[in-house]
Structure 1
Amino acid sequence: MASKSSDIRPVITMRSTEGTGFTYTTRKNRRNTPDRLELMKYDPVVKKRVIFRETR
């Protein structure tokens, strides 16, 4: 069985770029997306869609 640290689809944390501290958690495929992920998602603190970046 593969260890969790070398998992192909690790759990990552997405943090808001607006500085609100709001986060989402998701999974990504390391083989298809080796770079840090950036997604437009809804931030309920500022009540609008903003860019969320992957944190490590």
Structure 2
Amino acid sequence: MARSTLRPVVKLRSTAGTGVTYVTRKNRRNDPDRLVLRKYDAVAGEHVLFREER
């Protein structure tokens, strides 16, 4: 089965500048803009914003 283009894999990079990334999927129909999530950055030791990278 082929993967749907409706839910592409996106890479989230930390805004703290530590280089930490998360990989997730998003629904393009519900979130057409870049995704921004608040997640834990283990290098920084705190929750920071992670922005979608293209």
Note whether the superposition's TM-score is higher than 0.5.
Answer: yes
Pairwise CA distance, 1:32: 0.5
- Aligned residue among 8, 11, 15 for 1:10: 8
Query: 6-15 or 30-39: which moved more?
Result: 6-15
Read off the aligned partner of 2:51 and give its amino acid letter.
R
TM-score (structure 1 length as normaliser): 0.89
Task: Name the structure 1 match of 2:30.
Answer: 32
Alpha-carbon separation, structure 1, partners of 2:38 and 2:29: 22
TM-score (structure 2 length as normaliser): 0.93
The count of aligned residue pairs is 54
Pairwise CA distance, 1:10: 0.1
Pairwise CA distance, 1:45: 0.1
Identical columns (%): 65
Regions of 4+ moved over 3 Å: none
Per-residue CA distance 1:9-53 (angstroms, 9 max, x = gap): 000000000000000000000000000000000000010000000
CA RMSD in angstroms, aligned pairs only: 1.4
| Structure 2: gaps spanning 5 or more residues | none
